[in-house]
Amino acid sequence: MTESPFSDGARRREPIFFVPFVVVALVAALLAVHAVLTQSSAGTQDAAMRELAFMPARLTLWIWPDRLGGEPLEGGAKVWTLFTYALLHGSWGHVILNSIWLIAFGPPVARRFGSGRFLAFCALTAVAGALAHWASDPMDFSPLIGASAADSGLMAAAARFIFQPGAPLGDPRDFSGLVIEAGDERPAPSLRELLRERRAVIFIAIWMVLNLVFGAGAQALGASQAPVAWIAHVGGFVVGLLAFPLFDRPLRRQAP
């Protein structure tokens, strides 16, 4: 018997609303870290900021100590902060917003990559965001915190395959993907092919514009008490877009 694209069996092959455990665990970790710190003393919060937040100038002075007259930087570069800054957030609104984006874009990427690759990808895009922020102002001592760069990387990774036929945002006139395989299981197009897909280009353009507008105007409009590190978002997004094939599973990279 031939199965209709709209049958229950076909729907089960595209678990759009299923959130993988690794995404739930990551969101729970972000919320738990913020909850613990908000209940901690001011001294503990300051220590966490010093040890875990990323400060561009600290990395600069470790690489070029002559900027301090040749003296070594006290405490060193704390290179682990290139990643750990993503675990910290400035407010409940900040961590909840990043968790919402993680739940929105993380599941299809996690299903496609698998848990290990997914976590490694999040770490890479977080580091990319920190380095982009560092390049924009290498002598800034202000701490960078938040998982926004990793979220941006997940948005970019999702854009690499969610617009193809059979995927959640694929062409509604093509239902073959629903019958053959789920959209996040099909081989992804190359970057060149992706940039010929109108909806993908519109998605990327809108993301870039909104990121620029929000990053430049959030503090002026009162939407944020601190400057938004929008360049870190761009760094995470660009690296996520380019590094996607390195994390995609081999069988899914092959042409059908």
Place of tokens 């380019």: 242
SS3 label, residue 144: strand
Give the residue from 135, 146, 149 showing the smallest Cα distance to 56. Answer: 135
Q: How far apart are CA 256 and CA 254, in angstroms?
A: 6
Supply 64's token pair. 């070029």
229's CB contacts (< 8 A; 6+ apart) are: 129, 133, 144, 146, 148, 149, 215
Supply 188's token pair. 């992804």
Q: Fill in the amino acid letter for 183.
A: G
Give the residue from 166, 165, 172, 146 showing the smallest Cα distance to 232. Answer: 146
SS3 label, residue 94: helix
The list of the chain residues with pLDDT below 70 reads 1-17, 66-75, 165-185, 215-227, 250-256
Task: Give the angle 204-208-211 at the CA atoms, nearest 5°.
Answer: 135
Specify the pLDDT at position 63.
Answer: 85
* All domains of the chain in start order, with CATH: 8-253 (1.20.1540.10)
Q: How far apart are CA 230 and CA 126, in angstroms?
A: 13
Specify the pLDDT at position 212.
Answer: 82
SS3 label, residue 69: coil
pTM over 0.85: no
Supply 6's token pair. 């709209």
Supply 183's token pair. 């959209």
What percent of the chain clears pLDDT 70, i.e. is strictly above it? 73
The dihedral sign for the CA sequence 157, 243, 62, 215: negative
Max distance between CA atoms of the chain, in angstroms, equals 79
